[in-house]
């Protein structure tokens, strides 16, 4: 029997898992009984999407009770009686059945029009997070799972990977530690969380500013100056991105740019440097407690590179490969500075200003005018058509489905050739009060095989904050907003294309490096004429949208994306190297490290005297600690895939269908490096990425 067939057999035959499913379905039915409003049944999708505050509390209670029952039952299995059917299958079924119920509780926090429902959802999320954290620390359950791994029962490849992921998750949460070590781990985590928030709060609460004269702000747009507060004849410039970046881009006065750059680089002060150094020490202690040599190896082990050494090699190789391109770009900037200021001595504060000058000279594009080509409705319909054509899909809008707001649309997704139902997605793209403020995708249900042999289909929600219609006309999107929506809809298609057996291998639960690769690959369609024309049309007061964006404008958008790519990437690599080195080394002086690395990576440009970038680098403090490299890593893989498989025929459905089946469908059920290498027929390479950026850089 094939591995996949064996997995289907053992899951379908698992009596304990079936009991889990029955229990959870009864729990959900009890909540649903409180609902008076009837809704259209959606095959393969059972979760409610419009719960009341009371419903959310009841459902969260039942989820916790059922979860504890299942974990207790697994923990009670004698170590000499462990099997797939009484240990692994119940936990897999619990994940499959609970995930859409949990999401039904927590999604309303982001989307509900009701304050009461949002509060109930936020409270449920806290309770559920705390409960699942405790579950992942249970030594009794971990001991039983480990006993199963040592038994040697034959299971399929995907089931084996599922078990390995569970073991790693338990170990990452300290399940194999003694009670005293667990208490130490919890104290470390609490201390780390407190310091991270203190670092961020220091930046957010900063009220530092500079007072500058109109002469010192020469070159700044009038619109910018109008937004500044005038104090005794001088303009009050806050040390925030909203003020600092425009000045570094537009101010003609070099001394002002330097003053701003130094002040911003000291924004966090010595206090934040001390916080970050303490954070790094605590993270190393945390990692060593769990058996890792350093924090970077702990953070990277579940990701594609697996080790910090691999990440460092990647960053160093990429930096070296970019040297020629970045040197050519720097020469252009130095020439511009010589012409404008009579001085070729180039410093950090000059980078953004002369990049902007060069862009104005070399890229014929009014980014403000470009939005006239992107009415919201036309962009959305173009995106839907493009993904259907490329990936052999069919989207059908379900007009009578229940949603949480009357502007939300629901679509079913079908395979265009077999007419198999693949999943559903909700589009909640228009702004409203109380709604989550950013563009993102949320999984409402994962695709997976259940114990009774039926399949849950993937369900996703695309959230955005697009402007609504104005005076009966479709609102317009700025081009970066078009790219963001396109990127996030790529995640929707990735999620819905998933055909893995286990819920945890969903397209939205993948290792961070892998999850971004398909969306970054598909972003390339936003810079190609044939695809941009499909989602654009000139919008005027008279609703004439028959004229799509010009090919010249498409080329300018691509040139704008790639111009000075070498120098921009070098700056990013510098920060990634700092992140990686401090999380692999012991007692690293962060300021000294940056001073040493800066001229080496940035082609001889020294760090500004008095600057302390580590005092205002929030990604290292929270969210991306030891994994700042991830976005560049994903970009490199995406560029190779695009150049190798799509560049010459963007709408080739055969290529799109093969990508859907070979890369998107497995989800996390296979090693991501193996998936991509098998698809390419070789190891991924840096060369395609370097060449793509070099082609349009200058």
DSSP state string for 249-303: HH---HHHHHHHHHHHHTTTHHHHHHHHHHHHHHHHHHHHHTT-SSHHHHHHTTS
| Beta-bridge mates of residue 230 | 235
Determine the average pLDDT of the residues in 49-57. 95
The region, left, alpha or beta by phi > 0 then psi within -120 to 50, assigned to residue 232 is left
Handedness of CA 570, 576, 581, 584 (dihedral sign): negative
Number of domains comprising the chain: 2
Q: Characterize the bridge pairing of strands 209-212 and 234-238.
A: antiparallel
Per-residue pLDDT tens digits for 641-686:
999 999 999 999 999 999 999 999 999 999 999 999 999 999 888 8
Q: Is the pLDDT of residue 1 over 80?
A: no
Is position 325 within any domain?
no
Per-residue pLDDT tens digits for 529-587:
999 999 988 655 444 555 788 899 999 999 999 999 999 999 999 999 999 999 998 88
What pLDDT score was predicted for residue 455? Answer: 93
Q: In the chain, what is the straight-line distance between the N-terminal and C-terminal CA atoms, in Å?
A: 57
Is position 276 within any domain?
no
CA 627 to chain centre: 12
CA 631 to chain centre: 9
Task: Name the catalytic one among 7, 488, 516, 523.
Answer: 488
483: number of Cβ within 10 Å: 18
What pLDDT score was predicted for residue 37? Answer: 45
Q: Characterize the bridge pairing of strands 448-449 and 455-456.
A: antiparallel
Owner of token pair 């559920």? 128
Long-range contacts of 121-130, Cβ-Cβ distance < 8 Å, separation of 24 or more: 121/56, 123/57, 124/56, 124/57, 124/59, 124/60, 127/60, 127/64, 128/60, 128/63, 128/64, 128/102
DSSP state string for 335-366: HHHHHHHS-----GGGHHHHHHHHHHHH----
| Beta-bridge mates of residue 476 | 375
Question: Which of the listed residues 128, 145, 176 is the one where a domain comes to its end?
Answer: 176
Instruction: Give CA–CA dist 39/416, Å, rounded.
Output: 27
Determine the average pLDDT of the residues in 230-238. 93
The region, left, alpha or beta by phi > 0 then psi within -120 to 50, assigned to residue 604 is left
Is position 497 within any domain?
yes
Instruction: Tell me the chain's radius of gyration from C-alpha atoms.
Output: 27
Residue 257 tokens, joined: 């740019």
Q: Where are the beta strands (DSSP E) in 418-546?
A: 421-430, 440-445, 448-449, 455-456, 459-466
Owner of token pair 């670092």? 199
Question: Which of the listed residues 561, 588, 623 is the one where a domain comes to its end?
Answer: 561
Identify the band that residue 697 occupies on the pLDDT scale cut at 50, 70 and 90.
Answer: low
Instruction: Say if CB 240 and CB 217 are below 8 A apart.
Output: no
What pLDDT score was predicted for residue 3? Answer: 41
Specify the range with the lowest mean pLDDT, choosing from 129-143, 427-441, 541-555, 617-631: 541-555
Is position 568 within any domain?
no
Residue 620: is it exposed, middle or buried by C-beta count within 10 angstroms (0-12/13-18/19+)? buried
**Dihedral over alpha carbons 252, 604, 630, 174 (to 10 degrees):** -120
Query: Domain span at residue 71?
Result: 53-176
Q: Is the pLDDT of residue 24 over 70?
A: no
Q: Comparing C-alpha atoms, which of 332, 125, 182, 341 is closest to residue 254?
A: 341
Is position 488 within any domain?
yes
Is position 386 within any domain?
yes
Which of the residue ranges 205-209, 280-284, 358-362 has the most confident prediction, judged by mean pLDDT?
280-284
CATH number for position 510: 3.40.390.10
HSE, side-chain direction, 13 A CA sphere, residue 168: 14
Residue 674 main-chain phi, psi, to 5 deg: -65, -40
Q: Where are the beta strands (DSSP E) in 446-511?
A: 448-449, 455-456, 459-466
Instruction: Give CA–CA dist 76/138, Å, rounded.
Output: 12
Handedness of CA 430, 433, 437, 441 (dihedral sign): negative
Is position 532 within any domain?
yes
Q: Which distant-in-sequence residues (6+ apart) come within 8 Å of 233 by Cβ?
A: 213
Task: Look at 409 and 612; give whichever has higher pLDDT.
Answer: 409
Q: Is the pLDDT of residue 20 over 60?
A: no
Percent of the chain whose predicted confidence (pLDDT) is above 70: 92
Per-residue pLDDT tens digits for 375-402:
999 999 999 999 999 999 999 999 988 9
Instruction: Give CA–CA dist 597/594, Å, rounded.
Output: 5
Residue 553 tokens, joined: 């404008």
Instruction: Say if CB 365 and CB 269 are below 8 A apart.
Output: no
CA 364 to chain centre: 32
Determine the average pLDDT of the residues in 199-220. 93
Question: Which of the listed residues 561, 577, 605 is the one where a domain comes to its end?
Answer: 561
The DSSP code for 393 is: E
Identify the band that residue 6 occupies on the pLDDT scale cut at 50, 70 and 90.
Answer: very low
Active site residue 216: no
Instruction: Give CA–CA dist 243/72, Å, rounded.
Output: 56
Is position 259 within any domain?
no
Instruction: Give CA–CA dist 679/34, Å, rounded.
Output: 49
Task: Return the ∠ at Cα 193 (arms to 191 and 198), rounded to 5°.
Answer: 95
CATH number for position 95: 1.20.1050.40
597: number of Cβ within 10 Å: 18
| Beta-bridge mates of residue 259 | none
What pLDDT score was predicted for residue 474? Answer: 79
Identify the band that residue 14 occupies on the pLDDT scale cut at 50, 70 and 90.
Answer: very low
Task: Return the ∠ at Cα 527 (arms to 524 and 530), rounded to 5°.
Answer: 100
Determine the average pLDDT of the residues in 316-329. 95
Per-residue pLDDT tens digits for 56-90:
999 999 999 999 999 999 999 999 999 999 999 99
The DSSP code for 45 is: B
């Amino acid at each position: 029997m094939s591995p996949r067939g064996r997995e289907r057999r053992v899951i379908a035959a698992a009596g304990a898992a079936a009991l889990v499913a029955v229990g959870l379905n009864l729990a959900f039915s009890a909540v649903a009984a409180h609902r008076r409003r009837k809704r259209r049944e959606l095959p393969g999708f059972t979760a409610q999407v419009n719960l009341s505050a009371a419903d959310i509390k009841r459902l969260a209670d039942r989820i916790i009770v059922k979860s504890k029952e299942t974990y207790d039952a697994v923990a009670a299995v004698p170590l000499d009686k462990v099997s797939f059917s009484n240990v692994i299958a119940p936990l897999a079924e619990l994940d499959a059945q609970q995930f859409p119920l949990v999401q039904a509780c927590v999604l309303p926090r982001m989307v509900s029009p009701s304050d009461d429902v949002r509060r109930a959802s936020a409270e449920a999320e806290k309770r559920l997070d705390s409960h699942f954290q405790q579950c992942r620390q249970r030594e009794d359950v971990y001991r039983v799972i480990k006993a199963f791994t040592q038994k040697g029962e034959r299971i399929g490849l995907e089931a084996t990977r599922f078990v390995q992921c569970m073991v790693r998750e338990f170990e990452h949460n300290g399940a194999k530690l003694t009670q005293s070590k667990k208490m130490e781990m919890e104290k470390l985590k609490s201390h780390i969380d407190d310091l991270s928030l203190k670092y961020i709060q220091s930046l957010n609460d900063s009220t530092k500013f500079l007072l500058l004269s109109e002469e010192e702000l020469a070159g700044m747009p009038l619109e910018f100056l109008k937004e500044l507060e005038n104090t005794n004849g001088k303009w009050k410039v806050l040390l925030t991105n909203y003020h600092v970046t425009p000045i570094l881009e537009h101010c003609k006065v070099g001394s002002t740019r330097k003053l701003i750059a130094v002040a911003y680089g000291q924004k966090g002060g010595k206090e934040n440097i001390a916080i970050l150094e303490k954070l790094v020490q605590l993270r190393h202690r945390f990692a060593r407690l769990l058996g890792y040599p350093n924090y970077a190896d702990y953070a990277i082990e579940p990701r594609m590179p697996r080790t910090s050494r691999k990440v460092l090699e990647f960053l160093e190789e990429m930096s070296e490969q970019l040297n020629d391109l970045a040197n050519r770009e720097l020469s252009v900037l130095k020439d511009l500075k010589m012409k404008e200021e009579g001085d070729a001595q180039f410093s950090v504060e000059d980078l953004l200003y002369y990049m902007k000058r060069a862009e104005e000279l070399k890229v014929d594009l009014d980014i403000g005018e470009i939005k006239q080509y992107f009415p919201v409705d036309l962009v959305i319909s173009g995106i839907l058509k493009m993904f259907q054509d490329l990936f052999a899909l069919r989207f059908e809008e379900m007009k009578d489905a229940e949603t949480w707001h009357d502007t939300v649309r629901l679509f079913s997704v079908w395979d265009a050739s077999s007419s198999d139902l693949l999943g559903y997605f909700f589009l909640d793209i228009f702004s409203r009060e109380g709604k989550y403020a950013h563009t993102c995708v949320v999984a409402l249900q994962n695709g997976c095989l259940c114990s009774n042999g039926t399949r849950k289909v993937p369900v996703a929600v695309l959230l955005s904050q697009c402007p609504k219609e104005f005076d009966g006309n479709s609102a317009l999107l700025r081009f970066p907003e078009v790219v963001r929506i396109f990127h996030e809809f790529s995640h929707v298609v990735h999620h819905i294309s998933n055909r893995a057996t286990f819920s945890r291998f969903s397209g939205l639960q993948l290792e961070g490096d892998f999850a971004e690769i398909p969306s970054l690959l598909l972003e390339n369609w936003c810079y190609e004429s044939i695809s941009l024309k499909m989602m654009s049309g000139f919008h005027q007061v008279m609703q004439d949208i028959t004229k799509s964006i010009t090919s010249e404008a498409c080329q300018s958008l691509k040139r704008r994306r790639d111009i000075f790519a070498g120098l921009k990437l070098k700056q990013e690599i510098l920060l990634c190297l700092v992140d990686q080195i401090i999380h692999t080394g012991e007692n690293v002086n962060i300021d000294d490290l940056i001073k040493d690395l800066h001229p080496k990576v940035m082609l001889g440009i020294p760090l500004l005297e008095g600057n302390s970038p580590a005092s205002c680098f929030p990604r290292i403090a929270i969210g991306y600690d030891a994994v700042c490299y991830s976005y560049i890593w994903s970009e490199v893989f995406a560029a190779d895939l695009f150049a190798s498989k799509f560049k010459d025929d963007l709408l080739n459905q055969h290529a799109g269908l093969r990508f859907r089946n070979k890369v998107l469908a497995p989800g996390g059920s296979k090693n991501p490096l193996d998936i991509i290498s098998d698809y390419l027929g070789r190891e991924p390479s840096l060369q395609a990425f370097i060449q793509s950026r070099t082609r349009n850089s200058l």
